Amino acid sequence: MKTLSVDPEGSGRYLDQPVAPVPELISATAQTLPEQVNALARARAFAEPLLSGETLDTGENTLSHADAVAAILKTIGGSEAMQAASYLVYACDHLNKPQEVIAKAFGENFAALAMETTKLVRVQRQARITQAANARAATPVPMAQTAAAQTESVRKMLLAFSRDLRVVMLRLVSRLQTLRHFAATKLPLPPGLALESQQVFAPLANRLGIWQVKWEMEDLSFRFLEPDTYKQVAGLLDEKRSERELSMAYLRTRLESELQAQGVQATVQGRPKHIYSIVKKMRGKALGFGQVYDIRALRLIVPDVPACYAALAWVHSAFSPITDEFDDYIAKPKANGYQSLHTVVRDQSGLPIEIQIRTQAMHDHAEHGVAAHWAYKEAGTKGYAGVSASGEYDAKIAVLRQLLAWERDLSGDQAPGVFEDRIYVLTPDAAIVELPQGATAVDFAYSVHTTLGHRCRGARVDGVMVPLNTPLKNGQTVEVTVVKEGGPSRDWLIAEQGYLVSPRARSKVRAWFNALALGETVAKGRESVEKLLQREGKTSVKLEDLASQLGFNSADALFEVVGKDEFSLRNIEILLRPPEPVQTDEEIPTLKKPRSGTNPAKGGVLVVGVDSLMTQLAQCCKPAPPDAICGFVTRGKGVSVHRTDCSNLGEMVRKNGERVIDVEWGQAPSATHAVYPVDVIVEASDRLGLLKDVIEVFSKDRMNVIGMQTQTVKGKATMTFTVEVSDSGRLLKVLGLVTELPGVQSARRR
């Protein structure tokens, strides 16, 4: 097997360098089934007539791209089944029922893999189209913001489709092949693809430990993003290539022979030079090219861990070590399980040499990362770097946890706050759930389903029972226990108790309790309204119609405000009792005494010069203190009192002016409060709740509405109210408040 590194001359060719063979690392993801026999050849034959004349949106021939993807998968240890899937993925777009067709020809395993990968391809394609459209938009988006959004988008897509590692592997390798295509054809690569490859796909390959893909993808991306810097560093590497290769050949021979003399069997290899890595070191540490230590680098492969440290001791004794450049990744592995000893020493001429020392198993893991766990079942239940590999489910969890850790890696490359406020946990069937930092099992339950949250009563995290308010950590597996019926606890809303962090979950709990309280309030209001209807003998009235007439959009809305004591039942009584018809002046009945019991002769209207003459307030103009008034002597019914501006009075004076008599408001005793009925006309644009709003204004000022008529024509509402007032001057202020209501055009006395 061979590793591939970029030709420093930038020709698009790749340098081959032999490494130790490794088993087929990914074959365990797809057990060998009868339909998988000769799957690669059958898949290519199946796809060839569909793909041979097709091109991808990158301009590549689809069949050639699939051939190259299969070849790369073989190089990095991918099984024949995975190589076959690289053809079936692209065939899906040309089949009417791809799931059924592929399942019939190759089995359900192939069909599921092809369909999941196809979905991810389509989502990524649509994302690129959207990003391109945004780039053409009139309002430019800052580059940093665009890059962060792009990274976030692809990261979420990969996480969403990462339940099968093979999907992620196929996308990684496909992207690598696309970069190779543009490098070989010298065509310009779309900047979005280069940036996405550098910021998303390469870090993913790094997190999974697939170094061959990672290094090459980084170099190719950098070559397109910064071509001038790439060529400059490539030229510097090439300047003393022959001299460097001679010295490295001498060092390899010396190390092997002298370590063997010390009883340490070691295979010594050169290491490919990665331009992007060199540039990162130069920029990160402000170094010149000559100060980068791993321009010359060797790798020692030894039988076991004790041999690693024995080899390190000899290297440090034979050369001058640079103490600040030593890392022990065996004692403290990297987050992705990578293990090795790294040291930098100076040779006799003072030139630095980086030396890596590792076992064969460590080397295989370094080349193929998490995928290697499926190949090394013999490592035991702890696996390598503590990652369990005892079964298919454990392997899936191991991969997902590496992907989740990769997501955290990305947060370090973005602006603060891009990812740091979120964690990702797993359901028992390995689905990924995104939660805010510090979330609990209750937050988890609500994020899965509202009902699950309401009925949540217990939780297991990684198989261990924990309190419901235990903060979850990235990558944990969470399982909740529920009851058949029931609701949330009020304690969950107490911030100090720490049960809920997610605002969405908190709102769902509040909504549950609000709905519970609302139900009780509505029931109380319904009971009050129905009792009123029974008293009034109006049980046949439809509740929805009654609510609509009062300006409510539903009966429950009416019951709610009645239940909260925000709407008087008196308003319903007024609606149910039709007003008495307006009578003519000759038919005016004797004025009833005010409700306070005050005698009108003493506290109402006095007829100047005449004692104890019967008086009544005219219904046509309904005067009230301190209105200017005038009396008119009727036939047999005493004096009718009108407002001086009453139109009816003017007509009567014109015909019978001799019957006019002076009147004035009497002084009521201070202990009494006489009230007078007054008509008010309100004109407004009709809307929902208008009647209710007007009545509320009168109610707030303690003016009792004793009569009401409404009429709506072409969206214009005319409402006539009869209200009891003690002072017409105060009424004018209230009418001013009515005119301020939305839609009201005028409010005046009749």
pLDDT at position 304 is 92
Which helix (DSSP H) or strand (DSSP E) does residue 569 occupy?
helix 569-576
Confirm if 85 and 170 have CB atoms less than 8 A apart: yes
pLDDT of 328 above 70: yes
**H or E element: which one contains 18?**
strand 14-18
- Asked if pLDDT for residue 596 goes beyond 50, the answer is no
Helix %, strand %, coil % of the chain (to 5)? 50, 15, 35
Specify the pLDDT at position 728: 80
Residue 741 has pLDDT above 50, yes or no: yes
pLDDT at position 399: 52
**Looking at residues 334-362, what average pLDDT do you find?**
84
Q: How many CB atoms lie within 10 A of CB 652?
A: 19
Is the pLDDT confidence value at 508 over 60?
Answer: yes
Closest listed residue to residue 668, CA positions, set 604, 588, 733, 584: 604
Q: What is the reported pLDDT for 128?
A: 60
Q: Assess whether pLDDT exceeds 80 at residue 36.
A: no
136 token code pair? 């053409």
pLDDT in tens, 664-688: 887 654 444 678 888 899 999 888 8
Is the pTM value of this prediction over 0.75? no
CB atoms within 10 A of CB 540: 6
> What pLDDT shows up at residue 580?
52
pLDDT confidence of residue 310: 92
Q: Which of 372-386, 627-641, 718-732 has the lowest mean pLDDT?
A: 372-386
- Rounded to 5 degrees, φ, ψ at 491 are -60, -25
What band does 15 get if pLDDT is binned at 50, 70 and 90? very low
Q: Which two tokens stand for residue 383?
A: 């696996």
Q: Tokens standing for 531?
A: 């009792």
Q: For the chain, what percent of residues have pLDDT higher than 70?
A: 71
pLDDT 10s digits, 144-184: 445 455 555 555 555 554 556 677 788 889 999 999 999 99
User: 487 vs 125, which has greater pLDDT?
Assistant: 487
CA 431, CA 425: separation in Å to the nearest integer?
Answer: 8
Instruction: Give CA torsion, residues 729, 734, 735, 739, to 10 deg.
Output: 150
CB atoms inside a 10 Å sphere around CB 611: 7
Answer yes or no: are the C-beta atoms of 750 and 618 closer than 8 Å: no
679 three-state secondary structure? strand
Provide the β-strand partners of residue 425. 433
| Strand bridging mode 615-617 / 639-643 | parallel
Q: Is the pLDDT of residue 309 over 90?
A: yes
* Residue located via tokens 């008529």: 709
How far apart, in whole angstroms, are the C-alpha atoms of residue 209 and residue 163? 18
Terminal C-alpha separation, the chain? 101
Inform me whether the pLDDT recorded for 641 exceeds 80: yes
Say whether pLDDT at 537 is over 50. Answer: yes
Angle between helices 392-411 and 165-185 (to 10 degrees): 50
User: How do residues 218-242 score in pLDDT, each as one tens digit?
Assistant: 889 988 988 888 887 777 766 556 6
Residue bearing tokens 């893999």 = 113
Report the pLDDT value the prediction gives residue 285, as an integer from 0 to 100: 62
Query: pLDDT-based confidence at 389, cuts 50/70/90?
Result: very low
Question: What pLDDT was estimated at residue 466?
Answer: 93
Indicate whether 716 pLDDT > 80: yes
Q: How does residue 69 score in pLDDT terms, banded at 50, 70 and 90?
A: very high
Percentage above 90 pLDDT, the chain: 13
DSSP state letter for 661: E
- Better pLDDT: 572 or 129: 572
Strands (E), 156-296: 267-270
* Nearest in space to 384 (alpha carbons), one of 449, 337, 318, 323: 337
Residue appearing with tokens 């770097």: 385
Distance (Å, whole) CA 634 – CA 475:
95
SS3 519: helix
Average pLDDT score, the chain: 75
